[in-house]
Amino acid sequence: MEKLSFEYPASDEKPKRAHVGVVGSGDLEILLEPSQDAKAHVTVQTSVSGFAETWKAVLDRFFANYQGATIFDIRDCGATPGTVAMRLQQAVEVSRQ
């Protein structure tokens, strides 16, 4: 099990809490809640070690377009980068409902 942490600048957008996905074979779950500062905080707990650079690349791409002040708690069980990107977008959409 590897635990990674990332931080990104953010605007004042405060989304609602959201939960998407399920931890299971080849998938992940994301818990999203508003941040108390002007940053986005991401914690990744993954069962697959050695992919910190891949996680950073996927998150950098996502946060190039998303500026919400959020806390993302991601629990991964070997999801592909495409699945990660999809779940991040889903979490944001659910938080805006």
Residue 1 pLDDT > 90: no
Residue 44 pLDDT > 80: yes
Number of structural domains found in the chain: 1
**Residue 66 domain boundaries:** 2-95
HEC letters along the chain: CEEEEEEEECCCCCCCCEEEECCCCCCEEEEEEECCCCEEEEEEEECCCCCHHHHHHHHHHHHCCCCCCEEEEEEECCCCHHHHHHHHHHHHHHHCC
In DSSP terms, which residues pair with 75 in a beta bridge? 29, 45
* CATH number of the domain residue 59 falls in: 3.30.230
Residue 68 pLDDT > 80: yes
Residue 25 pLDDT > 80: no
Q: What is the pLDDT of residue 94?
A: 95
Residue 76 pLDDT > 80: yes
